[in-house]
Amino acid sequence: MTFTAQIDDLTTALRHTRSRLLAPVDPFQNQLPRDPEIFIEDTLYYVMDQWAADLRAQGIVLEEDTAWADAKSHYPRYVLRMAGGNAVQLHFTGEYPQSLFLSISKGFRNGQQFSDARHLQIELPITTDANALLASLLDGLKSANV
């Protein structure tokens, strides 16, 4: 399965997640927590868990890489196992509360060359609104050039 086809599958599942979770925005949730762990637990993990459920329905497994530990970054890393057995890394990076990026990368061996790696990075807003985060993920994947 090509990297472009994998991104298309991610986008399809994300559309289902967004339509399922679409809810009115609570104006009292606009304030960001001071502790990045609260943002990650309340918003980021929630969005990723919901997306993982929709991917699972397509036979794709998205799971957090619990072995990943970075003392400087609070953001999680995920491994996406596609139906064909290919693995893709999803890694959140950035400096809380200034920036948040999702890097999607795939590295694999090619008999003709050493590496045929692919990479995609999406800038995301830091917000407690799960719908805004899902919309940004969807827009980023739709406009990706891979």
Strand partners, 135: none
Model pTM score: 0.82
Tell me how far apart the alpha carbons of residues 99 and 138 are, in angstroms, rounded to a whole number. 18
Model pLDDT, residue 18: 80
Is the model's pLDDT at 24 over the cut of 80?
Answer: no
Taking alpha carbons only, the member of 70, 72, 27, 22 closest to residue 50 is 22
pLDDT score, position 82: 85
Q: What is the pLDDT of residues 27-52, one digit of tens each?
A: 666 688 899 999 999 899 999 999 99
C-alpha dihedral, 30 to 36 to 42 to 43, nearest 10°:
70
More confident residue, 106 or 22: 106
**How far is residue 131 CA from its own chain's centroid?**
14
How many helices (H) and strands (E) would you count in the chain? 4, 5
